[in-house]
Structure 1
């Protein structure tokens, strides 16, 4: 069980309920819930503009003499753009986390190996820009504040490749396969919804096994 400490936070515990969910974090879809609901990445166009601005400024910075007036001026602009981006995401991530923790007593999600994922050159840029680490920390904080359980699933659990109906393991599934049909039971799966359902199932299993 995670330990999460928040300074100067007054806990406002939501009324208990029997609802639970599993959530899958992704690049093309930010949050997919096992019910099929999809939450898109907030302010996507605005964040993309800020990311592009940061990259342009960083290229300019690399051409300036270290410590010069122009160098420090551009460095300040980069810091300001990062702060603006952070504030936008912080605001919207808190809104998403608030809605999830208000609705669900138990939230199940994967323990993401973000450092390992960043080694994938094709996805590293997208993963960094989605700020998964920031979002998961905010979810942890909100779960703590409102008396909810946040269940972390083992990062090696093959949630995408496992059929949520019969538990068949599809070893041939690739990142390009957004849908797939189980050869054992015939169920057709949306990759992300299937993963969220498996995460939900594994989380509830951990509770029954008294791991939480």
Structure 2
């Protein structure tokens, strides 16, 4: 009973590994991908050994394997994936003798590499069988970008935060005498360290994510007894509008300045790429007749190109940080002030098919706003309601219920022909969203049959999963 009351909370901080530490961390990212491919290769081995697959060139076999497995009946496909649990680490190490550029082999990887990779692969298989239309069969991963980006997860039992709070011990670092890794801005936790993930971003920055098991969440959000409706849009004046008229605006000016810089840098990078292609073509033409051929430089050896790539990645990282700060602070303020929040279940993928608005919609990060607000409300035992996406909330008068069918996107304000009330489009939509959400809350609100916790994420679905004990309710 005491273990069930625990909660998981994450911390993400930046780390500063030295050159040797970076080499080993990059190797672990490489080993993680190689372990995934090795496990998947043994699972798909019966299919790969078929004569019709062996006749094909090596670069075309993987696609044909995927197509063959997708044509298999459900029971045969399930029997194929059952072989994952029978694969041993010895068989993996014996079959994969790859040596990384720094001299490490797969055996030198992180202690928990096999365990976490097998667990992740099993999750991917389970997701495929639960929802085949959304989750395809697991596929092989590429190691093409392993030196520029990637991540891997390890267990807390092989890691540890030092008492000074600025250094961390990772995996097999003591075995290879790599020392401690320095980190900054670590926010301590009283809970037990549960899981650790190391991430290498394209901007050449390293981060570490800690997951702690705590008795309760760090942030306390007291109950206020208030509720609100939220309307999301992509206008110049507002990005998030509440039913009381309060609006929040994404800092588009800063984002557009950075986007213009990215466009300029992309032009420079394309020129450097074309120059590299011409030089390679000239060297290969000379090597065709030369007795001692010259070295053909790769793109990773072009320092100017790599500097430009990192510069673009840093600009993208700045945009990401601006959006994340805005979304976190805005959602945190809403979660602090209200006990019930109502939103529309937007069809973002369908909205992006309108090419006139696709860029503005993707820039608005509607999904991230939804996910952030959902977990903040859930952690505080508050409720978030999602109404039907096809409800005419913008066209409906909040006072008399009249629906103005000819309302266009350009009409930001309008007068109701029935009751003559003047409406601001976004505020009126937020009010309609709130009213419809409160009616849905009365119908669908219930408690978990296993732990007794009230339902925090309200939708029109009668079947739901408790976010505390993962019990399924109907």
Question: When the two structures are superposed, what TM-score results if normalisation uses the length of structure 2?
Answer: 0.41
Encode CA deviations 1:132-186: one digit per residue, 9 max, x unaligned. 2222222122212222211112211111111111221111000000111111222
User: Cα deviations across residues 55-90 of structure 1 (Å, max 9, x unaligned)?
Assistant: 333344444427462444333222211111111221
Distance in structure 2 (CA, Å) of the matches to 1:53 and 1:129: 16
Q: Which runs of 5+ in 2 are unaligned?
A: 1-7, 11-210, 275-298, 446-457, 459-474
Aligned residues: 207
CA gap of 1:123–1:183, structure 2 versus 1, over 3 A, is same
Cα-to-partner distance string for 1:79-126 (whole Å, 9 max, x where unaligned): 211111111221221111111011000011111211111111111111
1:22-171 equivalence runs, <5 A: 22-28=229-235, 29-41=238-250, 43-65=251-273, 67=299, 69=302, 70-171=304-405
Q: Which has the higher contact order (CA 8 A, sep 6+)?
A: 1
For residue 173 of structure 1, the aligned residue among 394, 400, 407 is 407
Question: Which SS does the other structure have where 2:273 is aligned?
Answer: coil
SS across alignment from 1:170 = coil
Q: Per the alignment, in what secondary structure is the counterpart of residue 390 of structure 2?
A: coil
Q: CA deviation at 1:23?
A: 0.8
Report how far residue 13 of structure 1 moved. 4.5
Greater displacement, 196-205 / 111-120: 111-120
Distance 1:151 1:65, change over 3 A: same
**C-alpha distance in structure 1 between counterparts of 2:321 and 2:389, whole Å:** 29
Residue equivalent to 1:20: 227
Q: Which residue of 2 aligns with 1:205?
A: 439
CA shift, 1:204, in A, is 0.4
The alpha carbon displacement at 1:34 in A equals: 0.3
Identify the match of residue 191 of structure 1 among 400, 425, 429.
425
Query: Matches of 1:125 and 1:55 in 2, distance apart?
Result: 15
Cα distance between partner residues in 1 of 2:270 and 2:405: 44
Q: Kindly state the Cα deviation for residue 6 of structure 1 after the two structures are TM-superposed.
A: 6.0
CA distance in 2, matches of 1:166, 1:194: 12
Give the Cα separation in 1 of the matches to 2:384 and 2:229: 10
CA-based RMSD of the aligned residues comes to: 2.1
Task: Please give the secondary structure, in 1, of the residue aligned with 2:384.
Answer: strand
8 Å CA contact 1:6–1:141 kept in 2: the answer is: no
Kept in 2: contact 1:22–1:200 (CA 8 A): yes
Deviation at 1:198, TM superposition (A): 0.6
